[in-house]
Amino acid sequence: MSETEEIAKAIQESAKLGEKGLEIADKAGRFFAKVFKEPVNEISGIITDKLRFIRWRRMVQMADEVNKILDEKKVEDTRAVQPKIALPILEESSLEDDPNLQYLWNHLLANAMNPNFNDEIRYGFTEMIKNITGIEALILSEFYKILEKENRLTPLSEIHNYSLKKEQLIDGLKMSPDQYAVSANNLMRMQLLGPAVLKGGVKMGSEPLTIFKGIDAVTLTPLGVKFIEACMK
């Protein structure tokens, strides 16, 4: 399906939901009117104006940040960004209030606009940002910095050979064990992190026995590396 067809399909789906959306908006308006004891049209106007202002302010902030990133990279002539990439970034970033996640949206858009960025900008990256928290972004960033410092990012096919223990990440990012457990499982769900698998000296037949570490020790995946480079570098 072409990009034009995808956009047309999205418009058709939105139209189908339009009538239901109006019913919901009317119900919400009547509720807020009851809360504030003001006419529905005045209350809906106040809420709509407030939301528009918040989103517009964040869009302006994003424009400043993205331009700053491109200036630092000395990018003067930008390239066009595919609508299926640009629209979700603009939509979601205008709703985001976590600075760690705003950082990801800004860098993803800047790299998408940068003709010197040669890695693939995947549509899936937008879904990944929507599905992680600020602390999970910090886990990925911390892991990447350690690998970069120790020159372990290449070859990418062997990235799984280097792992970090959960204690290193918990202590380094000052988070609770429970917070780490939930975050590690979510990052594994999206295949940005993987469980470390350690090979022992004991063999069963010709194959060495392996130890599956779960979340006690984790590795950065090749997909995780590319996600970080597109959204954080």
Quick check: 156 and 222 in contact, CB under 8 A?
Answer: yes
The proportion of the chain whose per-residue pLDDT surpasses 70, expressed as a percent, equals 71
Structure confidence at residue 15 (pLDDT): 53
Mean pLDDT value across residues 135-147: 94
Share of the chain above pLDDT 90, in %: 45
pLDDT tier, 193 (very low <50, low <70, confident <90, very high otherwise)? very high
Architecture of the domain defined by 134-231: Orthogonal Bundle (1.10)
Task: Give yes or no for residue 28 having a pLDDT over 90.
Answer: no
217: phi then psi, degrees, rounded to nearest 5 = -150, 130
Domain positions in the chain = 3-130, 134-231
Token pair 């009851």: residue:
34
Give backbone dihedrals phi and psi of 142, rounded to 5 degrees, phi first.
-60, -45
pLDDT of residue 187: 97
**Buried b vs exposed e over 84-104: b needs ≥16 C-beta within 10 Å?**
ebeebbeeebbebeeebbbbb
Which residues, listed in sequence order, are joined to residue 203 by a DSSP beta bridge?
A: 208
The mean pLDDT of 117-127, rounded to a whole number, is 92
Average pLDDT over residues 120-141: 94
For the whole model, what pTM was predicted? 0.73
Q: Output Rg (C-alpha) for the chain, integer angstroms.
A: 22
* Torsion-angle region of 113 (φ positive above 0: left; ψ -120 to 50: alpha; else: beta): alpha
pLDDT of residue 128: 96
